[in-house]
Amino acid sequence: MVNTLPYLSFIPAHVLMGFAILFFFLAKAVPFLRRLPASLIFFLVMAGAFWLETMGSGSKAVFFDMIQVDSYSRLYNQIFFIAIAVTILMMVNNDEINEEINWEIYGLLATVCLGMMLMTSATNLLMTVVAIELVSIPSYVLVALNRKLPVSKEASLKYVLFGSFAAGIMVYGMSLIFGLTGTLDFAGLWKGLGAYSSAGTAIYFLAILMTISGMVFKIAAVPFHFWCPDAYQAAPTPITAFLSTAPKVAGLALLMRFFSYHLTIQKADLTLILSILAMATMTIGNLAALRQSDIKRMLAYSSISHAGFLLMGIAVLNATGRGVVFFYIPIYLLMNLGAFMAVIYLSQGDRFDIASYAGMVKKKPLLVVGFTVCLFSLAGLPPFAGFIGKFYLFKVVIEEGLYLLAVVAAVNSVISLFYYIGVIKVMIIDTEDRPSKDVQAGGFPVVFVTACAISIVFFGLYWVPLLNWADKVRLLF
Amino acid sequence: MSYIQSVIPFVPVLPFFGALFLGLFGKKIYARFGENVTGILGCSMPFISAVLAVTSFIAINGVDVTERIIRIPITDWVSVADLQLQWTFRYDPLSAVMLLVVTIIGTLIHIYGMGYMHGDKSFSRFFAYMNLFLGSMLMLVLGDNIIIMFLGWEGVGLCSYLLIGFWFTEEANAIAGKKAFIVNRIGDLGFLTGILLVAYFSMTLFGTTDLSFTELQSNIDVLAGQTVFGFPLLEVIGICFFIGAMGKSAQIPLYVWLPDAMAGPTPVSALIHAATMVTAGVYMMGRVFFLFTLAPHALGFISLIAALTCFFSATIGMAQYDIKKVLAYSTVSQLGYMFLAMSVGAFSAGVFHLLTHAAFKACLFMASGSVIVALHHKQDMREMGGLLKKMPVTGYSFIAATLAIMGFPLTSGFFSKDEILWKAFIQGSPLLWLVGFVAAGITSFYMWRLVFMTFFGETRADKHTWEHCHEQPKRTVVPIAILAVAALTIGFWNVPHFLGGHGNFTNFLDPVVHDLSSKPMENYHKIQLAKQADHQPEDTHGAAVEHEEHVDHTALEWGLMLASVAWTFFTGFLAYIFYIRYPKAREKIMSRAAAQKVFAVLYNKYFVDEFYEAVVITPLRKLFGFLGAFDQMVIDGMVNFAGFMGRITANLVGIFDDEIVDGAVNGAGWSAQTGGKGASSMQSGRIQTIVASSLIIFIIIVASVVLFLG
B228-244 pLDDT, tens digit per residue, is 888 899 999 999 999 99
In a domain, B311, yes or no: no
More confident position, A181 or A200? A181
Confidence of residue B67 (pLDDT cuts 50, 70, 90): confident
Give the largest Cα separation in chain A, rounded.
73
> Which of B579-588's residues contact partners 24+ apart within 8 Å by CB, and which partners?
B579/B448, B579/B449, B579/B452, B579/B453, B579/B456, B579/B457, B580/B452, B580/B456, B580/B457
Q: Does B710 touch chain A (CB under 8 A)?
A: yes
In a domain, B130, yes or no: no
In a domain, B363, yes or no: yes
Give the largest Cα separation in chain B, rounded.
120
Are B433 and B469 in a shared domain?
Answer: yes
Residues of B in contact with A462 (CB under 8 A): 75, 77
Average pLDDT over residues A175-193: 88
**In one letter, which amino acid is B174?**
A
Q: Does B589 touch chain A (CB under 8 A)?
A: no
Confidence of residue B659 (pLDDT cuts 50, 70, 90): low
pLDDT tens digit string along B412-453? 999 999 889 999 998 888 899 999 999 999 999 999 999 998
Q: Does A383 touch chain B (CB under 8 A)?
A: no
Helix, strand and coil percent figures for chain A, each rounded to 5: 75, 0, 20
Contact between B242 and B299 (Cβ < 8 Å): no
Residues of A in contact with B704 (CB under 8 A): 276
Are B703 and B571 in a shared domain?
Answer: no
Range from A16-25, B38-47, B75-84, B157-166 carrying the lowest mean pLDDT: B75-84
Between chain A and chain B, how many beta carbons pairs sit less than 8 Å apart? 80
Are B501 and B541 in a shared domain?
Answer: no
Residues of B in contact with A205 (CB under 8 A): 702, 705-706, 709-710
pLDDT tens digit string along B338-372? 999 999 988 999 999 999 999 999 999 999 999 99
User: Helix or strand or coil: residue B71?
Assistant: strand
Q: Does A439 touch chain B (CB under 8 A)?
A: no
Contact between A79 and A330 (Cβ < 8 Å): yes
Give the residue from B529, B545, B561 where a domain finishes.
B545
d(CA B518, CA B270): 35
Average pLDDT over residues A225-243: 87
Average pLDDT over residues A201-206: 84
Radius of gyration of chain B (CA): 32
Q: Which domain holds residue B536?
A: 519-545
In a domain, B136, yes or no: no
A158: nearest CB among B657, B687, B708: B687
Number of domains in chain B: 3
Are B532 and B565 in a shared domain?
Answer: no
Choosing among A270, A290, A392, which should be mutated to test the B contact, i.e. which has the most B CBs within 10 A?
A290
Are B356 and B401 in a shared domain?
Answer: yes
Minimum CA–CA partner of A203 in chain B:
B706
More confident position, A455 or B671? A455
In a domain, B533, yes or no: yes
Partners of residue B87 on adjacent β-strands: B75
Confidence of residue B4 (pLDDT cuts 50, 70, 90): confident
CA distances from B411 to B285, B416, B471, B494, B498 (A): 26, 9, 26, 11, 17
CA distances from A343 to A237, A331, A441, B42, B485 (A): 8, 18, 11, 38, 62
Residue A255 has pLDDT above 90, yes or no: yes
Are B374 and B418 in a shared domain?
Answer: yes
Q: Does B709 touch chain A (CB under 8 A)?
A: yes
What is the number of other CB atoms lying within 10 angstroms of the CB of residue B222?
Answer: 13
A291: nearest CB among B654, B690, B698: B654
Minimum CA–CA partner of B682 in chain A:
A154
The answer to whether the Cβ–Cβ distance between B646 and A161 falls below 8 Å is no
Confidence of residue B529 (pLDDT cuts 50, 70, 90): confident
The answer to whether the Cβ–Cβ distance between B693 and A291 falls below 8 Å is no
Helix (H) or strand (E) run with residue B80 in it: strand B70-80
DSSP B215-269: HHHHHHHHHHT-EETTEEHHHHHHHHHHHHHHHHTT-TTSTTHHHHGGGS-HHHH
Distance in Å, alpha carbon of A154 to nearest chain B alpha carbon: 7
Are B502 and B651 in a shared domain?
Answer: no
Average pLDDT over residues A95-117: 85
B710: nearest CB among A158, A202, A224: A202
In a domain, B462, yes or no: yes
Q: Does B636 touch chain A (CB under 8 A)?
A: no
Contact between B503 and B496 (Cβ < 8 Å): yes
Residue B570 has pLDDT above 50, yes or no: yes
In a domain, B447, yes or no: yes
Per-residue model confidence (pLDDT) at position B681: 32
Q: Does B531 touch chain A (CB under 8 A)?
A: no
The answer to whether the Cβ–Cβ distance between A162 and B691 falls below 8 Å is yes
Partners of residue A160 on adjacent β-strands: none
Q: Does B640 touch chain A (CB under 8 A)?
A: no
Residue B664 has pLDDT above 80, yes or no: no
Helix (H) or strand (E) run with residue A298 in it: helix A295-315
Residues of A in contact with B696 (CB under 8 A): 223
Are B481 and B628 in a shared domain?
Answer: no
Average pLDDT in chain A: 86
pLDDT tens digit string along A264-310? 888 888 898 899 999 999 998 888 888 788 888 899 999 999 999 99
Helix, strand and coil percent figures for chain B, each rounded to 5: 80, 5, 15
Per-residue model confidence (pLDDT) at position A308: 93
Q: Does A216 touch chain B (CB under 8 A)?
A: no
Minimum CA–CA partner of B661 in chain A:
A226
- Which range among A280-284, B554-558, B602-606 has the greatest average pLDDT? A280-284
Average pLDDT over residues A340-348: 82
The answer to whether the Cβ–Cβ distance between B690 and A162 falls below 8 Å is yes
d(CA B710, CA B704): 9
The answer to whether the Cβ–Cβ distance between A223 and B79 falls below 8 Å is no
The answer to whether the Cβ–Cβ distance between A205 and B710 falls below 8 Å is yes
A165: nearest CB among B650, B691, B706: B691
Distance in Å, alpha carbon of A206 to nearest chain B alpha carbon: 6
Are B535 and B388 in a shared domain?
Answer: no
Residues of A in contact with B80 (CB under 8 A): 395
Are B588 and B613 in a shared domain?
Answer: no
Choosing among A151, A209, A404, which should be mutated to test the B contact, i.e. which has the most B CBs within 10 A?
A209
Residues of A in contact with B77 (CB under 8 A): 462, 464
Window 48-87 of B: residues touching A by CB (8 A cutoff) are: 75-77, 79-80
Are B560 and B616 in a shared domain?
Answer: no
Helix (H) or strand (E) run with residue B89 in it: strand B83-91
* pTM listed for this prediction: 0.72
Window 389-448 of B: residues touching A by CB (8 A cutoff) are: none
What is the number of other CB atoms lying within 10 angstroms of the CB of residue B403?
Answer: 25
Q: Does A223 touch chain B (CB under 8 A)?
A: yes
Are B645 and B502 in a shared domain?
Answer: no
In a domain, B25, yes or no: no
Q: Does A172 touch chain B (CB under 8 A)?
A: no
The answer to whether the Cβ–Cβ distance between B701 and A223 falls below 8 Å is yes
Closest by alpha carbon to B440, among B321, B323, B569? B569
